[in-house]
Amino acid sequence: MVTDIILHNYPQSPVAEKARIAFGIKGLAWHSVEIPRLAPKPNLTKLTGGYRRTPVMQIGADIYCDSQCILDELERRFPSPTFFPTSDPGLHWLLSRWTDGQMFDQAVKIVLGSAGDALPKDFAQDRGRLYLGPDWAAGLKAAGEALPHLASQMRGPFTWMNDQLSDGRAFLLGDAPGAIDAQVYHVVWFLRGRWEQGPTFLSEFPALERWESNVTQLGHGTVQEMAPETAIKIAAEANSTTQTADDPFDPQGLAPGMRVTISPDLDGGEQPVDGTVKALSASNIAVDREDPDIGTVCVHFPRIGYKVEVLS
């Protein structure tokens, strides 16, 4: 079925865990395509045009890169139950720029920095370059030396959340789970599972641990494994359902039909995605791109956190 949800992910990915919990909140059925943890990822980049991060969601010939874009599209296609039970979507999105940005970066530094020389060389090189920049070896050493400082940066926000949850509420904003629960949970999940000191660090926050268990119990919806070749065949046989959309207020003067490249707005050494603009809004951009084997696919990105350059 071309409308089936496919998540390209691997079990250890915390950002994929955010998407999996999001499926759980909405009680969705989906297919999981397991992708490699390290580049190259030829079956994934055939669909995305070069984007190699995890997770990527596919629905037919529409490819959604980045968890921000994935959650936005899930809410659009499957509005009930909503990700915004207290009717304040703007607050979830605003907070998520911090959870996905500084908070996640600090968690990555804690996990990589504490593992230090125990990290497999190829993994250290790949993740170091992606998250710590060209001088990643020095960044990794600095993270290892700054662990108490990094933990102190995490402790304040965790104390605020613990205090908020101490009134017995099940989720961060009340009795119903929302986007922000998934958006924070993936960082907690990462620290607990991949930082040796994580469980001890988290034990200071009993209300947060109760919340963590509530979010875990939301589960991942209903998942079925899928082979990457099947996902590619689905993309080849489907047509994108994205409609052309212009945005007269676009600050860069972008318009449908322009050739552009899109890449994360940080120096992770990643390959830009090249395509023709199809749809624009303040929060998302979709481009059509051609693949010799699968034909046209429409690749979606968030605007926030991504750089769009016009090809002349």
Ligand X SMILES: N[C@@H](CCC(=O)N[C@@H](CS)C(=O)NCC(=O)O)C(=O)O
Q: Rounded to the nearest whole angstrom, what is the least distance from the CB of residue 66 to ligand X in the complex? A: 4
Binding status of residue 66 toward ligand X by CB under 6 A = yes
> Which of 60, 97, 118, 107 has its CA nearest to residue 239?
60
3-class state of residue 286 by DSSP = strand
SS3 for 106-135 is HHHHHHHHHHHHHCCHHHHHHHHHHHHCCC
- Taking the complex as a whole, how short is the minimal distance between the CB of residue 216 and ligand X, in angstroms? 18
What's the CA dihedral at 14, 19, 20, 24 to 10 degrees?
140
Angle in degrees, 0-180, between the axes of helices 104-115 and 136-145, rounded to the nearest 10: 90
* 53 binding ligand X? (CB under 6 A): yes
14 or 228, CB closer to ligand X? Answer: 14
- Out of 5, 6, 7, 13, name the contact with ligand X by CB under 6 A: 13
CB proximity list for 251: less than 8 A, separation 6 or greater: none
C-alpha distances out from residue 202 to 11, 61, 195, Å:
22, 41, 11
- Specify whether the CB–CB gap between 92 and 179 falls below 8 A: yes
Helix (H) / strand (E) containing 34 = strand 29-34
- The residue among 10, 51, 48 whose CA lies nearest residue 270 is 51
- Whether residue 254 contacts residue 308, with contact meaning beta carbons closer than 8 Å, is answered with yes
Q: Indicate the residue among 68 and 284 with the shorter CB distance to ligand X.
A: 68
Smallest distance from ligand X to CB 121, Å: 16
Question: Across-strand partners of 308?
Answer: 262
CB nearer ligand X, residue 68 or residue 240: 68
CB of 302 to ligand X, least distance (A): 8
CA–CA separation, 306 and 299 (whole Å): 13
Q: Which of residues 129 and 162 has its CB atom nearest to ligand X in the complex?
A: 129
Q: How near is the Cβ of 14 to ligand X at its closest, in Å?
A: 5
- Nearest CB to ligand X, comparing residues 32 and 67: 67
**H-run or E-run covering 260:** strand 259-264
The answer to the question of residue 15 lying near ligand X (CB under 6 A) is yes
Q: How far is the CB of 111 from ligand X (least distance, A)?
A: 10
Smaller CB separation from ligand X, 173 or 187: 187
14 binds ligand X, rule: CB under 6 A: yes
Here's the x/- map for ligand X, 243-272, by CB under 6 A: it reads as ------------------------------
**How far is it, in rounded angstroms, from Cα 104 to Cα 264?**
15
CB of 127 to ligand X, least distance (A): 7
Question: Which of 14/275 has CB closer to ligand X?
Answer: 14
Which range, of 9-17, 79-87, 208-216, 269-277, touches ligand X by CB under 6 A? 9-17
**Interface pattern 97-136 for ligand X (x via CB under 6 A):** ---x-----------------------------x------
Q: Of the two residues 103 and 208, which places its CB atom closer to ligand X in the complex?
A: 103
Contact residues toward ligand X (CB under 6 A) are 13-15, 37, 39, 52-54, 66-68, 100, 130
